[in-house]
Amino acid sequence: MSSRLRLGITVLTVAVDGVAAALAFFLSYRLREVIPFPTPLRLGPFRDYVVLLVLYVISILLVFFLYRLYHPRRGQSRIDLFYSLLSAVSIGVIVSTSLSYLVTQGDALLTRGAIIYSLFFTLLLVGLGRAVVGRIEAALRTRHPEHLLLVGTGDVARMILQKTVQSPQLGYRVIGFVDGHSDAQEVAGLPVFGGRAQLAEIVAEHGVGEVIIALPEASHDELLDMIQACETAHASVRIFPDLFQIIASELSIGDLDGLPMLTVRDVALRGWKLTVKRAMDVLVSGLGLMFLSPFLMLVALVIKLESKGPVFFTQVRVGLDGKPFEMIKFRSMRVDAEAETGAVWATEDDPRRTRLGTLLRKTSIDELPQLINVLLGDMSLVGPRPERPVFVDQFRQVVPRYMERHQEKAGMTGWAQVNGLRGDTSIIERTKYDLYYIENWSLLFDLKIIVRTFINVLKGDRHAY
């Protein structure tokens, strides 16, 4: 997308936000007269509130700008946008209310009820407006994609290529690769233009707007050279981080009797955070088991009628501090599923599944009994996915600091799963996402993952098998 189109989208977004804020103000004024709560009230004519309307719109737009809500963010989820809007609208309402006391007469001030209504309507209308503008922007990005060049030809570069192909609304068209360590002429049907030494010339020749460096093993000097080459050709640069950068995303600086030291951030949840997370686990799992019990009984009955064997399937998994526990699921495979194969991961179109098991796995219904594990404290609602001991023994040998993910309870869902890393996918990539989650835990982060899990289930997760 050209700079002119990006500017047009930004101007349109500002205009839509301004109209939405003004309409929200007017609706809150009218609604306060209609609803006699907390007390019946008759406001003055709307012309007395025009100054407040202007202040309100300016405050909302100014706070949105300070929250960087007018800066382009490709691929931002609707949940992240909602969090940002909720925070920004709340601050904007507070700012406009404070300013109104400074510049207007007391009789023209809005009441507490009208202020609450304005917050609700602004969030609703701005959200709807952003959804419409987002559709327009996605259509423009798809029609006018930006040329994207990938530096690297390995698994990481191929994964990024797959992501861009699956998400055309991001507005990228991968035109090819740059690499300096192989003689390949093309990768995944796209050309390899040359080595890193020619990066600046390649960017300029092909009109590349953005470069993604997909070389986690590259040294700092190599990265600096590539960044400088891209900046010389006026292309923006993104870098896929290596595993250590993900793990040590925050360092503290201290000293040892005068000697400077860097301390890697402790990833374990402790204190009040652990208490809050456990309280949410107990509350949600308890309510879930209570309200879902009729449905769970129905599923159990159908399983029993469809095939011989137990309703539930228990399997030893590795949880907190590397301790084993028995994870409970609805049985979705034959009783003798691993008699010939031994311990293996489930695969797409797995012949060991029962007919009902295929549906249970596709909809993740087979995992609902894990609410019992959550209530008992063996698991959490959100956390790293638990693996079997035999796989853990394998992974700890090849994945750096893999066992760090066992410093927290295993989860029914997690940051890796909602990003498509479940089933037979890269354990190295899963570990990166798991450690990022542990380092950046918050209650809102957990809620975001739970919401995205429901969305993925409703859409049909292609990795659920």
In terms of domains, do 235 and 161 share one?
yes
Q: Token digits for 183?
A: 């003689």
pLDDT tens digits, 121-163: 999 999 999 999 988 988 888 888 888 999 888 878 888 888 8
Per-residue model confidence (pLDDT) at position 138:
84
pLDDT band at 109 (very low <50, low <70, confident <90, very high): low
In terms of domains, do 334 and 232 share one?
no
User: Considering Cα of 16, then 19, then 22, then 26, what sign does the dihedral take?
Assistant: negative
DSSP state at residue 368: T
pLDDT band at 305 (very low <50, low <70, confident <90, very high): confident
Per-residue model confidence (pLDDT) at position 321:
85
pLDDT band at 463 (very low <50, low <70, confident <90, very high): low
Count of structural domains within the chain: 3
Please give the Cα distance from 363 to 420 (Å, whole number).
15
Evaluate if residue 343 carries a pLDDT over 80: no
In terms of domains, do 193 and 130 share one?
no
Within a domain: 465: no
Evaluate if residue 423 carries a pLDDT over 70: no
Per-residue model confidence (pLDDT) at position 322:
87
Evaluate if residue 37 carries a pLDDT over 80: no
Within a domain: 250: no
CB-CB contact of 416 with 433 (8 Å): yes
Please tell me which of 97-111, 154-168, 289-303, 389-403 the model is most confident about, judged by mean pLDDT: 289-303
Per-residue model confidence (pLDDT) at position 260:
60
Within a domain: 258: no
Per-residue model confidence (pLDDT) at position 26:
93
In terms of domains, do 90 and 231 share one?
no
Per-residue model confidence (pLDDT) at position 35:
79
In terms of domains, do 326 and 353 share one?
yes
Per-residue model confidence (pLDDT) at position 252:
56
Largest CA distance in the chain: 83
The CATH number of residue 179's host domain is 3.40.50.720
Within a domain: 256: no
User: Considering Cα of 450, then 451, then 454, then 455, what sign does the dihedral take?
Assistant: negative
**Strand-strand pairing, 251-256 and 190-194:** unpaired
User: Any alpha helices (H) in 233-270, and if so which ranges?
Assistant: 243-247
pLDDT band at 182 (very low <50, low <70, confident <90, very high): low
139: Cβ contacts below 8 Å, ≥ 6 apart: none
In terms of domains, do 167 and 314 share one?
no
Evaluate if residue 92 carries a pLDDT over 70: yes
Residue 265, SS3? coil
Q: Is the peptide bond before 38 cis (omega within 30 degrees of 0)?
A: yes
Per-residue model confidence (pLDDT) at position 286:
94
CB-CB contact of 368 with 290 (8 Å): no
| HSE, side-chain direction, 13 A CA sphere, residue 412 | 25
Evaluate if residue 443 carries a pLDDT over 60: yes
pLDDT tens digits, 49-88: 888 899 999 999 999 999 989 987 776 777 888 888 999 9
Per-residue model confidence (pLDDT) at position 339:
55
Evaluate if residue 452 carries a pLDDT over 60: yes
Q: Is 262 exposed, middle or buried (0-12, 13-18, 19+ CB in 10 A)?
A: exposed
Residue 223, SS3? helix
In terms of domains, do 309 and 442 share one?
yes
Place of tokens 């394998």: 394
In terms of domains, do 388 and 327 share one?
yes
In terms of domains, do 374 and 430 share one?
yes
Please give the Cα distance from 10 to 136 (Å, whole number).
12
Evaluate if residue 361 carries a pLDDT over 80: yes
In terms of domains, do 194 and 223 share one?
yes
DSSP state at residue 307: S
pLDDT tens digits, 254-272: 554 555 655 555 555 667 7
The whole-model pTM stands at 0.64
pLDDT tens digits, 216-254: 778 888 888 888 888 887 888 888 766 555 554 555 555
Within a domain: 453: yes
Please give the Cα distance from 437 to 431 (Å, whole number).
10
Evaluate if residue 404 carries a pLDDT over 60: yes
CB-CB contact of 424 with 361 (8 Å): no
Query: What's the domain range around 45?
Result: 3-143
Per-residue model confidence (pLDDT) at position 426:
73
pLDDT band at 376 (very low <50, low <70, confident <90, very high): very high
Within a domain: 64: yes
- Among 119, 143, 167, the domain boundary falls at 143
In terms of domains, do 178 and 289 share one?
no
Mean per-residue pLDDT over the chain, rounded: 82
Please give the Cα distance from 29 to 114 (Å, whole number).
6
CB-CB contact of 122 with 60 (8 Å): yes
Within a domain: 275: yes
- Among 240, 261, 287, the domain boundary falls at 240
More confident of the two residues 351 and 205: 205
pLDDT tens digits, 209-224: 888 888 877 888 888 8
In degrees and rounded to multiples of 5, residue 315 shows phi and psi of -145, 140
Q: What percent of the chain has pLDDT over 70?
A: 84
Please give the Cα distance from 67 to 87 (Å, whole number).
9
CA–CA distances in Å: residue 114 to residues 20, 119, 157, 262? 16, 9, 52, 52
CB-CB contact of 265 with 439 (8 Å): yes
CB-CB contact of 422 with 382 (8 Å): no
Q: Which of 226, 231, 205 is nearest to 214 (CA)?
A: 226
In terms of domains, do 175 and 304 share one?
no
CB-CB contact of 211 with 203 (8 Å): yes
Evaluate if residue 298 carries a pLDDT over 90: yes
Q: Token digits for 263?
A: 């301390």
| HSE, side-chain direction, 13 A CA sphere, residue 247 | 16
Per-residue model confidence (pLDDT) at position 58:
95
Beta bridge partners of 264: 251
Q: Which of 385, 391, 382 is nearest to 448 (CA)?
A: 382
